[in-house]
Amino acid sequence: MVPLYTCVKRGWINKWIEWVVASGGIPHHEPLPTFLPYLAIMKQFLVRRLIALIPTLLGISIIVFAVMHLIPGDTITAMIGTQFKLTETQAAALREYYGLDKPLPEQFGRWILATVQGDLGYSVRKGEPVLPLILRHFPLTLELALFAMLIAVALGVPLGILSAIKRDSAIDLAGRVFALIGLAMPNFWLGTLIILVLSLYFQIMPNAGNYVDFFTDPIANLKQMVFPAITLGFAASADILRMVRSSMLEELAEDYVRTARSKGLAERAVILKHCLKNALIPVITIVGLETGYLFGGAVIVESVFALPGIGRLLLDGIGERDYAVVQGTILFIAFNFVLVNLLTDLAYSWVNPRIRYD
């Protein structure tokens, strides 16, 4: 990495500016409004979207509630298991406390009221309420998902551009093969292989030792997170690559590209300044969607790398039949997924002023 003052001293900055001017200058278009004032303009749209969120969240809750009632038999017995015998009065007391003796709609009403107030139930196995438990495990999963998305974008976007501008060349073929493998390779296998190679040939154990959070020791934290993030981001990078490639190809066939070329712009400027900006618009949607899916994928990757995130919490909950934890975690991830999708929609209309939702 060359320090900035060296660049200034050697006149690289000036050369760079000259290059920008020579290659056609920065194209004129309306500057984007910054995001927050934009939200003010879009207040009406935003309010409507937030209101529309309520039935979605309610629907998700109904699905989660319904699936929990698919558990055969009585939840209390299923939870406690057979090793520990409850007396009939104890079981009855618990059933009454959880309202399991009430009709289903009333049970749902009680549950949803509690959920809205942030009460996701009590984890029998961990001995504490579920919500703080989730909030404690969530930062890791969030970091993992964001880190994975960063890797996916850093891999997928440049490879997609290369693949598109060198269409039908060896580079394109390599990019497409990479995308096919990325989509077909299960992340738990990739993770297993990474651990195998690292431990056999480099004597590194990425899944050993206790988890250190980012604010205590950023370096140690990133060392722990980099391999899980690669594992998780690999498939997403393949998806992004395909999207960038196809949308770049579409843009390259547009009239404005021919205009830009015929007025003598350098190819680099045509691609980076004209095409890429338009080509990246649909990519935003896929990045948003993928970020949502990464929360789901994180469940498996955390289990492979033994990371104590929300996915790990969920799997432990499943293994221990700690249904309050299972229910709470699923609900939490689904809510996040919906919020990420909403943000994606907003970002999409922000960068693409041609789209206005009204």
List 12, 189, 256, 357, residue binding another protein (CB under 8 A): 189
| Binding range to another protein, per CB under 8 A, among 36-44, 154-162, 252-260, 297-305 | 297-305
Exposure string of 296-313, with b = 16+ CB inside 10 Å and e = fewer, is ebbbbbbbbbebebbbbb
Cα distance between residue 92 and residue 96, in whole Å: 6
Other Cβ atoms closer than 10 A to 11: 10
Q: How far is the CB of 199 from another protein (least distance, A)?
A: 6
185 touches another protein by CB under 8 A: yes
Instruction: Give least dist CB 337 to another protein, A.
Output: 6
| CA gap 172, 157 in Å, rounded | 13
Q: What's the closest the beta carbon of residue 251 comes to another protein, in angstroms? A: 14
DSSP-derived 3-state class of residue 337 = helix
Closest-CA residue to 194 (of 229, 231, 226):
231
Applying CB under 8 A, among 74, 296, 351, 357 the residue interacting with another protein is 296
Among 13, 17, 26, 63, binds another protein (CB under 8 A): 63
Residue 186 sits in the site that holds another protein (CB under 8 A): yes
| Number of chain residues interacting with another protein (CB under 8 A) | 49
Q: Which residues inside 303-332 make contact with another protein, applying CB under 8 A? A: 303-304, 314-315, 318-319, 326, 330
Closest CB 54 distance from another protein, rounded Å: 13
CA dihedral sign, ordered 266, 269, 274, 278? positive
In the list 71, 114, 226, 343, the residue contacting another protein (rule: CB under 8 A) is 71
Rounded CA Rg of the chain: 26
Q: How far is the CB of 42 from another protein (least distance, A)?
A: 22
Which residue in the set 67, 154, 173, 272 belongs to the binding site for another protein (CB under 8 A)?
67
The minimum distance between CB 259 and another protein, in angstroms, equals 25
Kindly state the tokens that stand for 36. Answer: 């927050």
C-alpha 148/C-alpha 156 separation (Å) is: 12
- Determine, following the binding rule CB under 8 A, whether residue 242 of this chain makes contact with another protein: yes
Report, in Å, the least distance between residue 170 CB and another protein: 16
Distances (CA, A) of 172 to 155, 176, 178, 240, 274: 14, 6, 10, 15, 21
Single out the residue of 7, 24, 33, 56 in contact with another protein (rule: CB under 8 A): 56
Rule CB under 8 A: say whether 50 interacts with another protein. Answer: no
> Which ranges of 185-309 would DSSP assign to H, the alpha helix?
187-201, 218-252, 255-262, 267-269, 276-305
Residues 6-45, interacting with another protein (CB under 8 A): none
The interface region with another protein, picked from 30-38, 53-61, 86-94, 123-131 by CB under 8 A, is: 53-61
| Least separation in angstroms between CB 25 and another protein | 33
| Per CB under 8 A, 196 contacts another protein | yes
Alpha helix locations (H) across 10-82?
Answer: 12-22, 35-41, 43-68, 75-80
**Under the criterion CB under 8 A, does residue 292 sit at the interface with another protein?**
yes
| Cβ atoms 122, 324 nearer than 8 A | yes
Of 116-124, 166-174, 240-248, 344-352, the segment contacting another protein by CB under 8 A is 240-248
Phi-psi region of 266 (alpha: psi -120 to 50; beta: other; left: phi over 0): beta
Cβ contacts of 189-192, under 8 Å, gap ≥ 24: 190/231, 190/234, 191/227, 191/228, 191/231, 191/300, 191/301, 191/304, 191/305, 192/304
Binding site for another protein (CB under 8 A): 55-56, 59-60, 63-64, 67-72, 180-181, 183-186, 188-189, 192-193, 195-196, 199-200, 242, 245-246, 292-293, 295-297, 299-300, 303-304, 314-315, 318-319, 326, 330, 333-334, 337-338, 341
